[in-house]
A and B are shown apart, each in its own frame.
Chain A
Amino acid sequence: MLSYILKRIFSLLPTLFIVSIVVFLVVYMIPGGPATAILGMEATAEELAALNAELGFDRPFLVQYADWFGGVFQGDWGQSYFLDMSVLDAIGEYFWPTFSLAIYAELISLLLSVPLGILAAYKRGTLVDTATVSVSLLGIALPGFLLSMFLMLFFGVTLKWLPVAGYVELSKGFFEHVRYLTLPALSLGLVQAAYITRMTRSSMLDVLYMNYIRTARAKGLKEAAVVFVYGLKNAAPTVLTVIGQSFGSLVTGTIVTESIFNIPGLGMLTMSAITRRDVFVIQGVVLFVTLIYVLVNLLVDILYGFVDPRIQLGRK
């Protein structure tokens, strides 16, 4: 198992290298530079050239890339000229709001989707199933920004139950932290729930009509045991994969939701960095996101072994 994990982590290095060079090249090639973002719309060409020279953006591509790449190996991912902090510090600061939001949204989605998915599969063909499938289809089809706006207008503006936007750090109080994250978490969680519900239903349907389920019932096992122990456990790998993908997408930043609800997370950092051409931040965030995705997938793979002993990772 350990060797498998190490092998997976090691195989990440070429991926990160390719991603880094592609992103660096793309950012280098697109017109517009960081000096424009700093100095404003009416800066003269001379002012822009002077600032670009000071920041080192007037050097050839390979020189700039080699400089940055050398730094990465020494733990220096570069400096954000806009945020006035190192890229690693910036990622560290912007990651926690996203992480909190991702956990909260994932909790909401799991609490809704797994029971509903199981119920819809168990009551296949009934009104419950039809309603669940229809609502989850609607959830998948509904654009995230529209749901965000609706939640903001209804719970924030009309009912005034929750703040419409903003973020309070966990250190300033758990309940305030949760209160500010509730609307964005609902917005993200409901969309994710729609997807996971459909996948849970689908994988449970594959399992619930297998022979061993019929055998379990014939043995006189209670229905709950049949569904949860024999059914859900065998459907779990598929559900886990979907949850992993869902959590991966949440934890790597949700640009639209974070922008609407004004949450200073990775999504907002990504958007701002692109707008400002904050090259090293763009690089850093993309590498970090790649890393997170791979690690989440690795974690899901490891969990397979626990939920289904037939899956033995690393064995040929």
Chain B
Amino acid sequence: MKHGKFSRVLALALAAAMMLSACGSSTPAETPAAPSTPSTETTTPAAPATPAAPAAPEAVEYKTELNIAMNANPPSLDVPAVNSNIVGGIGMHIFEPLFSLNAESQPTAVLADSYTVSEDGKVYTIKIRQGVKFHNGQEMVADDVVASMTRWLEKSGKAAPLLGGSTFEKVDDYTITMTMPEAYSDALNVLAGNIQWAAIMPKSVIDAATEEGIGEYIGTGPYKLAEWKQDQYVHLTKYEDYQQPVGESSGFTGEKLAATENLYFRVVTDATTRIAGVQTGQYDVAEGIPADQYSILAGDSNVALSTKTAGTLNLFFNTTVGVMANEGIRDAIMMALNCDEISLGAYGEPALYVVNPGWCNPADSQWGSTAGEAVYNKGDKEGAKAAAEAAGYKGEEIVLVTTPDYPEMYNATLVVTQQLIEAGFNATIMESDFATFMERRADPNQFSLFITSNSYNLSPVQLSVLGSSWAGLNAPEVQEGIQNIRMAASASESRAAWESLQEFLYEYGAACVLGHYSGVIAADADVEGFDYFNFPVYWNAKVPA
């Protein structure tokens, strides 16, 4: 009997709680569609346009919180030390570099005021802006910049190979010099790069850093770190003493308004949850939308989709160990590949990829190139079979290592494997979780081929494929090509040197770009001022309340 009473009481309590919880839900009020967001590469306002609302006489009020659903927890916010788009993207709101990229991808001053280059091209003298304060209230001076740039050069995998041997020195409190061993024509581009970029921090933070990274995240950016709840969110608040750089907002440069007081970067690992959240208004922006959800969201009038060609899906060949050391066999594998089929298998949505042999953005006038197309995307299985036999292939196992943690990499591996089997290769897949995959990938004894997706680099000399630690490529032509690009007397000479190197990569059978992918971000249709540049940029984003 007691049990029965207890159950009834519990039933009533639970029913009441559920009713209250349902009634208490704060569904966002439906608001008319806002003006379209500023230009990202493409922005789809989705489905049929909402009828324009009559102009409101009173000023629009905006929310004080912007909720962004991101797909992973940042391992750290130590921007120069960690190669991660999430780290770089959040870090862009907290830290600033001396130079960054404007909307036309040109290096533009941010914390730098001006610079001069010595006659021999080896010394850059950079004046820094005066009166810029870090989030801890301390003014940024040359000591901070020298310490930050020196650490960047040491930690950033993108900077060290390009500016190695360079030194940074203080001239006076607001002037520094960068002295390079050679006159690198692309030095300013490297300083303005946006992968493992040169964030300026107080010298005291750099001095206290360990091998694990910095312990405090203090920058000069429009937002400061308020709270970081691991696996839940990174909360940034507007930095009231922020000193605006000159110029209109453009890419990562110019005016940064901190239009919404609080930014919450929420960790939402499940893609379906991120999508449901942006559809219901719980999140204002959802990053990392899978390609197979694109067409579904494109039909939702409450959601605006932004896409940007963001990088390449690449097949890397072992060039040093076992059967793969035979260039003829690598050429035969290259001949078997049908990149259209592979990209379709990887992304599912033709609007979200482009098949092109270039290792850089095809739209990049300096580095976009189709060199190597003579051997690219042939899909010639019979020809590949004959070429492999001629090269002495005797059915040795071709091992493709991969990880299901990244669906596009995994799906592409399945298609490549099938194409190789059809071309007579004894191809097999070895799959594992991401960390294990990374370890296998780093050891040429454990793989024949592997696929990764890699973001674009500012300069082709930063490409992973050119580094011997990535897939073991150690042909002397690579270093020679890099030197030719960097020491070229003019932009056109530099481009020609890169085209020659890209062609070598295909003819040597070092690697193959399977396709260029687009990143997709879904935002509530009411979000204004959001820009999807190389990372999503939120400092001018706001949402009507």
Contacts and interface: CB of A to CB of B under 8 A. Distances in A.
Interface string B453-486: 0100000000010010110000000000000000
A157 B272 contact: no
Interface string B410-452: 0000000000000000000000111111111010000000001
Given A115-B7, A165-B282, 13 more contacts: A31-B440, A40-B84, A43-B83, A84-B230, A85-B230, A152-B272, A162-B22, A166-B266, A167-B232, A178-B20, A262-B266, A262-B273, A275-B434
A172 to B, nearest CB: 13
Q: With a 10 A CB-CB cut-off, give which of A54, A166, A260, A276 has the most chain B CB atoms.
A: A166
B282 A163 contact: yes
Contacts of A232: 3
Contacts of A31: 432, 435-436, 439-440
A55 interface: yes
29 contacts: A32-B432, A36-B438, A37-B435, A40-B84, A41-B438, A42-B464, A50-B211, A53-B211, A83-B230, A85-B230, A110-B10, A111-B7, A153-B276, A156-B280, A162-B25, A163-B25, A164-B273, A164-B280, A167-B232, A178-B21, A182-B21, A228-B4, A262-B269, A262-B273, A264-B232, A272-B73, A275-B434, A276-B435, A277-B435
B213 to A, nearest CB: 8
Contact of A262 (B4, B212, B267, B434): B267
B322 interface: no
A111 B10 contact: yes
Contacts of B76: 38
B323 interface: no
A41 B231 contact: no
A94 to B, nearest CB: 8
Interface string B198-215: 000000000000111100
Interface string B341-384: 00000000000000000000000000000000000000000000
Contact of A107 (B10, B211, B438, B469): B10
Nearest to B403: A32
B212 A51 contact: yes
Contact of A179 (B24, B232, B436, B437): B24
A42 B24 CA distance: 47
Interface of A: 30-33, 36-45, 47, 50-51, 53-55, 81-85, 94, 107-108, 110-111, 114-115, 149, 152-153, 156-157, 160-167, 175-176, 178-179, 182, 224-225, 228-229, 232, 259-262, 264, 268-269, 272, 274-277
A272 B212 CA distance: 19
Contacts of A275: 405, 433-435
Does more than half of chain B's interface fall in helix, strand or loop, or is it mixed? mixed
Given A38-B76, A44-B157, A160 B27 contact: yes
Interface in B84-120: 84, 87
Contacts of B435: 31-33, 36-37, 275-277
Contacts of A83: 230-231
A164 B276 contact: yes
Contacts of A94: 231
Given A41-B452, A152-B273, A160-B27, A32 B434 contact: yes
Contacts of B442: 45
Nearest to A153: B276
B11 interface: yes
Q: With a 10 A CB-CB cut-off, give which of A50, A110, A228, A262 has the most chain B CB atoms.
A: A262
A157 B280 contact: yes
Shortest 4 CB-CB distances between A and B: which pairs?
A32-B435, A179-B21, A40-B83, A54-B211
B253 interface: no
Nearest to B23: A161
A213 B348 CA distance: 64
Contacts of A161: 22, 25
Interface residues of B, number: 61
B81 interface: yes
A178 B17 contact: yes
Contacts of B438: 32, 36, 41
Nearest to A177: B21
B211 A229 contact: no
Contact of A43 (B27, B87, B157, B279): B157
B263 interface: no
B453 to A, nearest CB: 10
A130 B102 CA distance: 68
A233 B22 CA distance: 36
A83 B438 CA distance: 22
Interface in B196-239: 210-213, 229-232
Given A41-B438, A165-B276, A259 B270 contact: yes
A110 B10 CA distance: 10
B270 A260 contact: yes
Contacts of A164: 273, 276-277, 280, 282
A264 B231 contact: yes
B273 A176 contact: no
A272 B319 CA distance: 34
B21 to A, nearest CB: 4
Contacts of B157: 42-44, 47
A53 B212 CA distance: 11
B79 to A, nearest CB: 11
A110 B437 CA distance: 44
A291 to B, nearest CB: 22
Contacts of B454: 42
B321 interface: no
A9 B454 CA distance: 52
